[in-house]
Amino acid sequence: MVTTGAVSSGGAGAPSKGALTPRADDFPRWYQDVVARAELADNGPVRGTMVIRPWGYAIWEHLQAALDQRIKAAGAENAYFPVFIPEAFLKLEAEHVEGFSPELAVVTHGGGKELEEPVVVRPTSETVINHYFAKWVQSHRDLPLLINQWANVVRWELRPRLFLRTSEFLWQEGHTVHATEGDARDYALRILRDVYVDTMTQVAAIPVLTGHKTARERFAGAIRTWTCEGMMGDGKALQMGTSHELGQNFAQAFDIRFSDTDGNLRYPWQTSWGVSTRLIGALIMAHGDDFGLRLPPELAPQQAVVMVARDGEGVQRAAESLVADLTAAGVRVVLDDRTDTGFGRRSVDWELKGVPVRVEVGPRDLAEGTVTMVTRHRREKASVAVGAATAAVVTALGSVADDLRAEAVAFRDARTVDVDDLAGAIDAGASGFARVPWAVVGQEGEQQLAASSLSVRCLQRPDGSLAASDPAGGDVAGGDTG
């Protein structure tokens, strides 16, 4: 399957002071309004950098935990490698250095002196990690070697957008070494399926298309790049994660060899794979509405907020008791008893932040033995008996991710069309995805699509399964956020 489209943006200008810009009016402005007013991030002092605020960073921590659990279940172990990489390392793999040269940040001075050899601030770690793989891999008994790193990387970004494209961002990057090409491919696809797709669809509730990139779009130095592509709220696509087959390119460049069972020296096959804080941008754009964030419970910093609407007899005590009960039930919950701040303002702030469930405790309802429960994703209110409130919140939380996922699938399917020529793909790519046979696209057609600000997002077989090579008659789906 192939995907086409124009790039969604989330620019970084001055935030809106009043209500959020409606998504239908200006999606990029709406995005930046949400980032600012939900207190997710600010622009850093150096152009292209960002400060991730506590609410945004807590979302990242929950994403990180979900991914890390799955990465370890796939057999990889966490390690850490230096942020500074000798410039000479990057030059060892020609396609790799060519692909990253425009984005490199190079340090030429340190300690008040000019360095004998410039060092690069890591844009990715294939080179430095393979330098050590050459030392660690000697025998077939050392394989497979499965390493993951949680780190920051720097890629000098000319058109920064918070979370989507920044000069510095956080991510995980996996790097593995295998005895055979088949083992490497199987592992790259295992990461794509069991780690990335599972986290994106089940935890973040964002449906994704999977396939591999064209030669034009694949990772520099790879022989094949597998990708996860999600449709955002403006009908455009976002590349949410990639898993690369590196072949033997880096093994040959760094002279990584192992003795096989017959004692022969062979070059191994490798993979690398990564997702980043771009996933926070995906959450905003896939699920957000005109009132702010809508977060699936597993990723919400607080899954519920108990609000004291007004002071009154027993109100504070009832609210505190409900918080204790929810905590005991395993719900991440916060008490908001700031009655010196207007109730309406506080409600809007929690709605902006996307807290899945809000429970409002006021003297009038409490006198009748009830509280008001509000579900954020549907913006529905219900009167609930005080004694049943904890169970009602837990039940409500259990359906949020399914509801968000179903809504996102319906949105994507309604904006995906099958076409049989480039003209149809160009028309459809303006507002959604187009599936078109790769046989009618090819490299020449890919260039024509690019001239219309559209890109081929991924290649699949006609039945939707993953194809290891460019299919003669696959589909193309369209829309592009980055």
In a domain, 14, yes or no: no
Give the CATH number for residue 301: 3.40.50.800
- Taking the CB of residue 340, how many other CB atoms lie within 10 A of it? 6
Q: Which of 373, 400, 427 is the last residue of a domain?
A: 400
Q: Which among 452, 2, 449, 424 has a CA at the least distance from the CA of 212?
A: 2
In a domain, 479, yes or no: no
Instruction: Give per-residue burial for 354-388: e unless 16+ CB within 10 Å, then b.
Output: bbbbbbbbbeebbeeebbbbbbbbeeeeeebebee
Contact of 345 with 370, CB cutoff 8 Å: no
Q: Which among 80, 219, 229, 102 has a CA at the least distance from the CA of 154?
A: 102
Residue 235 CA to residue 314 CA, distance in Å, equals: 49
In a domain, 461, yes or no: no
In a domain, 472, yes or no: no
Q: Helix (H, G, I), strand (E, B), or coil: what is residue 22?
A: coil
Same domain, yes or no, for 393 and 426?
A: no
Residue 410 CA to residue 62 CA, distance in Å, equals: 26
Please report the sign of the dihedral spanned by the C-alpha atoms of residue 359, residue 362, residue 367, residue 372.
negative
Same domain, yes or no, for 332 and 428?
A: no
In a domain, 228, yes or no: yes
What averages of pLDDT result for each successive group of 10 residues across the chain (482 residues)?
35 53 97 98 95 98 98 98 92 69 88 93 93 97 98 91 96 98 97 98 97 91 95 96 96 96 97 98 98 98 97 94 98 97 96 98 95 97 97 98 98 94 85 90 88 89 66 43 44
Consecutive H or E run containing 251: helix 249-253
Residue 77 CA to residue 322 CA, distance in Å, equals: 40
Same domain, yes or no, for 394 and 419?
A: no
Same domain, yes or no, for 301 and 187?
A: no
Contact of 120 with 91, CB cutoff 8 Å: no
Integer-rounded Cα radius of gyration of the chain = 25
CB-based contacts of 175, cutoff 8 Å, min separation 6: 125, 126, 129, 130, 133, 147, 148, 149, 270, 271, 272
Contact of 433 with 477, CB cutoff 8 Å: yes
Same domain, yes or no, for 75 and 164?
A: yes
Same domain, yes or no, for 223 and 307?
A: no
How is 212-246 classified by DSSP, letter by letter?
E--TTTSPTT-SEEEEEEEE-TTS-EEEEEEEEEE
Give the CATH number for residue 160: 3.30.930.10
Neighbouring-strand partners of residue 416:
433
Same domain, yes or no, for 304 and 274?
A: no
Same domain, yes or no, for 229 and 364?
A: no
Residue 411 CA to residue 403 CA, distance in Å, equals: 12
Contact of 454 with 235, CB cutoff 8 Å: no
Same domain, yes or no, for 386 and 440?
A: no
In a domain, 20, yes or no: no
Same domain, yes or no, for 280 and 171?
A: yes
Counted domains in the chain: 3
- Residue 153: the pLDDT is 94
- Whole-prediction pTM value? 0.92
Same domain, yes or no, for 358 and 437?
A: no
In a domain, 4, yes or no: no
Range of the domain at 337: 297-400
Half-sphere exposure of 31 (CA within 13 A, CB side): 24
In a domain, 175, yes or no: yes
- Residue 469: the pLDDT is 57
Instruction: Give alpha helix (H) positions in 266-373.
Output: 278-287, 315-328, 343-353, 363-367
Q: Which of 241, 267, 287 is the last residue of a domain?
A: 287
Residue 31, amino acid: Y
Q: Which among 193, 195, 183, 185 has a CA at the least distance from the CA of 225?
A: 185
Residue 316 CA to residue 310 CA, distance in Å, equals: 9
Same domain, yes or no, for 238 and 379?
A: no
Cis amide leading into 144 (omega within 30): yes
Residue 302 CA to residue 288 CA, distance in Å, equals: 17
